Structures are given as C-alpha cells and as structure tokens.
Amino acid sequence: MPGPTPKPRDATPRRTDRRPLGGFARAAALVGASLLAASLLGTAAPSPARADDVAAAEAKYRAWLKRPSLYKRMQGRVALARTGTTKAIGLFADDYLRPEEPKDHVRYLIATLATEQLSGAPDAAAAFAGWRGRAKTPIDAWLWYRALGVDLLLGGRDAATVPVAPGEPALLRAAALRALATASDTESPAVVAATLDALPTAGPERALLVESCAAVARTWGMGIKDDATRAVVERIAKVLDDKSFSQDTHDIVARNLASLFQTDVLGPGAAPYLRELAAAAERPEGSEPPEVKYAPGPFFGLRAVGRRIVYVIDASDSMLVPLTPDELKVLRPTTPSDPKPGDKKLPKAADDEDPLPWQRIKNRFDAAREVLKRSLRSMKPGQHYCVILFGNDARPLATTPNLVAVEPKAIEATVAELDRMKPEPAPGDKARPHGKLRGETNLHGGLRLAFRVTTDKRLGPGEYVDLSRTGCDGIYLLSDGNPTTDDFVKTDKPDGEKTVKDRETMTPVAPTGDINFQGPYGDRTFEQFDWVTDDVRRLNLFRQAEIHCVAIGEVDDTLLRGIADIGTGRFRRVGGD
C-alpha cells in the first residue's frame, strides 16, 4: 500500500545531532549533553497555552490514542505535549504505566516526548519525580535517565543522590550517573568517588556502576587539572589493572578514558592513561589535544575494539546506484601496495589490506559487500560476528542468525551467502532503473536488531538493560540514505497527507483509502525530533558498545555522526566533500 510523504521541515528543527566540537564541548556531545540540555532548556519557558487550545489538544490526544498506527498515536501525544501543561505530565505518566503495543517502545517514546516538551511546565520537577516513583523496574531506566536529566537542568540534585542511594536498584543508579553526565556539574567527581566507595562486592551490577562512572568521567575535559578530580580519574584508570573485572569492562573504561583525553584507545592496563593524566596536568589551557592516530582497519579504514562485532549494512534499493568517480577515488586510494611504474616489487607487508576485486564493484552495494568480506576474513579466533542487512525490514544473514564464532568455515559460508545476493530487475519502474534489492531504508530496525542478537538466544523487549555480556560490543553501520521506514508500519486512514508509492523513491500516487504509516523511527525528524539517534542512545546507554559509521550516497552526515558519537566511534564518508 502507499505511504505518506514526509511533512515539510521547519527551517530550524528542534533536535538534530551536530558535529562535535573540541575540548569539553566535544566530550559533552559524545554523551548527549549538548542534545539533551539544549532541547530541554529550549522548552523551559513556553508561552502559556490558551484553555481552548489545551482542550482541543487533549481531545485530539484521547481520540488518536485509538488509532491503529503508532505514527498517528504519537501525533496525538505530540499535540498534548505541546500544550506545556503540568496536567500533560500526569496524563503521560498514566499512559506510560498502561502502554499499548508495542509496549516497550511506547514507554520509551512517551518518556522522551514528555521530558523534551514539558520540562518548563509548572512544578515539572515534582511531577517527573512522582512519575519516577511509580516506575522502578529495570525497563524504566530510560525514564529515570530522562527525568533525572530534567531534574538536574531545573536545579534539582536527585541525579547526584540516586547513584549513592543503597536502596535503589543498580540499573536506576547507573541511569542517574548517565543523566549526571549530560551536564557540566561541578559535583560529579565527588558523586563518582562516592559511588566507587559503595560498589557492590561482585556481579554485573558492580561492573555496570564502574562503567557508568567512567562515562561520567569522560565529560570532565580540562577539569582534570583539579587534584580531587584527578584522583577519581586515577581510580577509574586502575580498574584496567583489576583482573576481577571482565575484558568487557576494561574495554568500556578504556574507551571512555580515551575519549576524555581525546586520543585513541591505549593499553593494555592503566599505565598509558596514567601517563595521559600526568601530561594533562602540564598542558596549558586552550592547547590542542593529543593528535589522534586511529589505527587503520579493515572496514573502510575503521577498526573496532571488541570481540562481538555486528555489521549493519544498508540493502535498500538505492544501494544499487553506480558509484561516482569521487566514491571510487576514496575507495581506491594509492597505497604502498600500488607501486608506481618502474618501482621494484616489494614483498607485501603483513598488515597490508588485500586489494579489492574492482571488476566486481559497480555500485554501492558491491563496494559494501567486498569491503565487508575483507573485514570478515580479517577477524580473529575468539571473536564472534553477525551480519544484518536492512531494507524494508532488518534480517541477519542465514549463516549468522545470532553472533557466531569466528571460524574459517563460518566466514567462508557467510562470504558465499553474500556472493549469492543478486538484484531483481524492475521493468517499467522508472524510479528503479538499476533494479530492486530489499526495498526501503529501515536503519532503526537494523540497529535495534544489532542490540538483540547475542552469542546465545536473541533478546526481546528491554534489551537495553541486559547485563549478560552476550550481546555485541562493537558495531559497524553503513548506509546510503536517511530512514524511510521502521519496524512499526501500520495501515491507517490519512488526514490530508499526500501519498507516495514508497518513501524510498517518493513516487506520487493517487490516494486509495487507507495507507501505510511508518513509526516515528522511519522519519528523519518525525515531528521535528531525531527519534532514531535518541533511541540509539537508549539502546547503548548501558551497553556502551563502540559504533563506527560509514556514509555513502545521500544519507545525512549529521545522523551517522551523531550515532558514531554515541558509540565513541568514528565516522567516514565515501566520496563527496
């Protein structure tokens, strides 16, 4: 069935991810400080809503909650949120505690919408605190992160007291620490020190709190000249020498410290970071950070630090577009293994990348497939991997239903499966002159599935609070276009929207009754908010997986940069500026 066209954007959408800056601003952007703080403060003093406007918005909200599509139900909720009233917080709290399907995502969307739009309502801090008090299960950690961020920005101190409250569940204490990391809070080093003093003696909760403390520390920037703050950083660094913590915890702490010092992951052990800490004490204010020399890796020059890697690859129809000269130039740079005429042939270095089979590479998907195959063959014993392709939906390859162990036979089976993928012809479809692959761009579905696959059984709702250490700790994401669909497509009646055949080609069609509506994650800025990036922040709130992003084609760089920043990873563009 046809779908709606995206609504026209305002000149200045309220929330998109921007390229990070230097110093403290860069570190803050990595954990969402600039995003959460700017958006919440931007709504702190809304114009008073007229009574008739509030009544109309509430009537729309109540009526549209009965609509079949999540798209329309969320539009009704947005109308209520924009009233800016305290009553709306109470209605959303009730709504949150009795969600309709999909229950988990309805909760996340409500929590985000309410905290984004209603922080300026009268007595908002008390209203959100009351809401939190009614929701204290693990899956509510996202609400706590969001609501404690509001409390902090409104001058409250709950984000500083919850982490050291012994009666609170560890996940909610960790959510408070992550909220504390969204603002420049002078008390955060003392809070982290107190949290480290009162850690559980063992178990996943102990590791979770240490990792969350490290996430707070990476926001301190030049504050590490202060002796008390430096002492806390030293304690966190010494976790890297503590063998009672797992390699996962060591990796997460190391990535956070590398982000703090604006360098690459160093190691092993604490010594390299203690040297960086000592150097920071002597570094003049305003000086440039250490030069980042990121080790070239097998996936478009990127290298993930992890043992459970998921490749999330765009297989939408637009990936069949032929490569441009600029893209080919980036893909095929001159390297030491490309000798000039007359040069003596030198033996190949052990770490030289194998040349790509250029005779096979004609379009974007060909390039992604060949680089992916090379990356898979570079993996080491002891690692696990999964390949997810996203189009209309997101599916793992048949040879990688979950994270599978790296073995030569497994890798070659995956390579063979990739080689068998062929585009289908699309005769008569002028919008698809190169054929069809897997349809539209369900980028959110690909990332959502990446956080659900494990070395055991696949995770379900509430995957983001899983502490089993069986899921991914590294992700490579490649896309050529902005999201056009998600996992929550539902047929509903249009309310004046123009209809298109599909949102990948935007070919207009005449309306024929009900149409398909994607959920909020299928629109780059549904109702002027970047829901995709926000949900990746939720998915990675406690996992702290490293995420690297590669852009090719028309995809918005700010989208992939924002996702990479959440995962303390790198962004690469193939071709273009």
pLDDT at 330: 79
Could you tell me which of 246, 167, 174 has the C-alpha nearest to residue 216?
Answer: 174
Residue 474 DSSP symbol: E
Beta partners for residue 547, in sequence order: 475
Mean pLDDT of successive 10-residue stretches along the chain, which has 577 residues: 49 29 29 35 50 91 97 97 96 97 98 96 96 96 97 94 92 97 88 95 94 96 86 97 96 95 88 92 74 78 92 97 87 52 42 71 95 96 97 98 98 98 91 93 98 97 96 97 96 89 81 90 93 98 97 94 95 79
pLDDT at 504: 81
Task: Decide if 239 contacts 250 (C-beta within 8 A).
Answer: yes
Beta partners for residue 209, in sequence order: none
pLDDT at 61: 97
Question: Around Cβ 439, how many Cβ atoms within 10 Å?
Answer: 17
For tokens 């770490």, name the residue: 351
Give the chain's length: 577
pLDDT at 42: 38
Q: How distant, in Å, are the alpha carbons of 2, 196, 258, 314, 540 from that of 394?
A: 20, 40, 32, 9, 19
Task: Decide if 504 contacts 435 (C-beta within 8 A).
Answer: no
Beta partners for residue 388, in sequence order: 312, 396
pLDDT at 339: 45
pLDDT at 169: 94
Task: Decide if 9 contacts 551 (C-beta within 8 A).
Answer: no
Question: Around Cβ 443, how many Cβ atoms within 10 Å?
Answer: 30
Q: And the tokens for 10? A: 């305002």
Strand, helix or coil for residue 552: strand
Residue 526 DSSP symbol: G
pLDDT at 576: 60
pLDDT at 9: 34
